[in-house]
Amino acid sequence: MSHQIHIIGGGMAGSEAAWQLARRGFRVRLSEMRGSGETTAAHQGDGLAELVCSNSFRSDDDEKNAVGLLHHEMRRCDSLIMAAADKARVPAGSALAVDRDVFSAAVEAALAQLPNIEVVRERVDTLPGEGMAIVATGPLTAPALAGSIGQATGADALAFFDAIAPIVYRDSIDMDICWMASRWDKASGPESTGKDYINCPMDKDQYLAFHQGLIDGEKTEFKEWEANTPYFDGCMPIEVMAQRGVETLRFGPMKPVGLDNPRTGRWPYAVVQLRQDNKLGTLWNMVGFQTKLKHAEQVRLFRTIPGLENAEFARLGGLHRNTFIHSPTLLDRQLRLKSSPNIRFAGQITGCEGYVESASIGMLAGLMAASELAGRDWTPPPVTSALGALLSHITGDAEAQTYQPMNVNFGLFPPVDPSVKKKSRKEAYTARGKADFTPWLETLAPDLPTAP
């Protein structure tokens, strides 16, 4: 099949871009390295849109949360990633968490139903010299292609470390010690019970010993090419957080607030939470426990956590390096490479952080390319929307000198009316965003349809 556009990378962004283009009738070649005998340091399989870190898309609350608003906007644009996530949803309180295997299979099945998508398992080593293309190779871009990108941009890629959290088998957790609860018993979503997390309690002595164990534990040795690479605060290894102070974890991933231990009627000194990782409920991941501890050290230390004394791990934590480009200086407002405007970039390689953010930029890249192929002018989403705020940050509003990966947040949005009371500002952001987003959807019609 001859193609009108070449998408390089079958992750979240590439899959979403392919969906948006193909469902509008354009012929797409989707190149994915995994499955050709190649893989990355973080992926486990060959499935499209594989989740390699957490299984959570974070908050699904679209009334007072920026990422929840992004969920809402993507669903309205008929996002494949959001449809697959809804299909693969597992209980996680107010968060949208998914079964990894069900999610990836849903993405693959949807793309396979579109006859104008050709999925090719191949490694692409150079940027296309001609023809429209979208590069969505993610933060683990293969070295040869990364070198080609460097030559085309004339700038070095930034880099940071990203750590993966362990996954525990449910039947190895001691529920005589742990209990099920969401913070403040808050339920969200049709499958939520308000008791969506497994909570492992710690008293003060246990916490202090565990904290010291994180600091003293043997860490993964850095390779030469990883030296002096900064961490991203949104996915920081737990032992690095521990080094920031003895109380840091108690105000972060081990926060006990709102979690009453039914055996004592009180909040513990600290809590380790586990979140369901698959629909069967057999796998649970340790929330916020991204780590670069060596595997044997992880097993030893994590089994000191009350309730995890006999824990069996389906996956231990790991560490890989992520790379991204200086998007504010290199890309135009339509995500095109200024030096080669036939090429767009999408996903985490642009410097957005998070599954949903990556997919959303892939979605926008697909919509932009569709408009261009159709000969239509492109109207960007309003900056008061989550899509518009994130796009503006990536393509020019961020300070290039200090540009770092960013999750969507209300700090990227134009301020709301200062007369709005502080406790109501989040609702004001989302209400304004929804109101401004609806007219923008009409700019995609008639030949660029949207979901009802």
Binding residues for FAD: 9-14
Q: Are the C-beta atoms of residues 81 and 442 closer than 8 Å to each other? A: no
Among residues 14, 93, 58, 99, the alpha carbon closest in space to that of 344 is found at: 14
Q: Find residue 273's DSSP bridge partners.
A: 199
Main-chain dihedrals φ then ψ at residue 328, nearest 5 degrees: -60, -25
CB 315 within 8 A of CB 166: yes
- The helix/strand/coil state of 284 is strand
Annotated binding site: 9-14
Report the distance separating Cα 331 and Cα 345, nearest Å. Answer: 8
Tokens 């088998």: give the residue.
Answer: 169
DSSP code for 231: B
Residues in the chain: 452
Phi, psi of 370 (to 5 degrees): -65, -45
For 68, the enclosing helix (H) or strand (E) is helix 66-76
Q: 156 exposed, middle or buried (CB, 10 Å; 0-12, 13-18, 19+)? A: exposed
439: left (phi over 0), alpha (psi -120 to 50) or beta: alpha
Are the CB atoms for 448 and 370 separated by under 8 Å?
yes
Residue corresponding to tokens 């957080």: 241
Triad 199, 204, 209: Cα angle to 5°: 95
> What is the DSSP secondary-structure string of 184-219?
GG---STT--S--EEEEEE-HHHHHHHHHHHHHSPB
Cβ neighbours of 29 (radius 10 Å): 20
Nearest alpha carbon to residue 437 among 364, 392, 373, 383:
383
Residue 207 CA neighbour count, 13 Å, CB half = 22
Task: Provide CB contacts within 8 A for 325, sequence distance 6+.
Answer: 149, 153, 155, 157, 158, 331, 345, 349, 350, 351
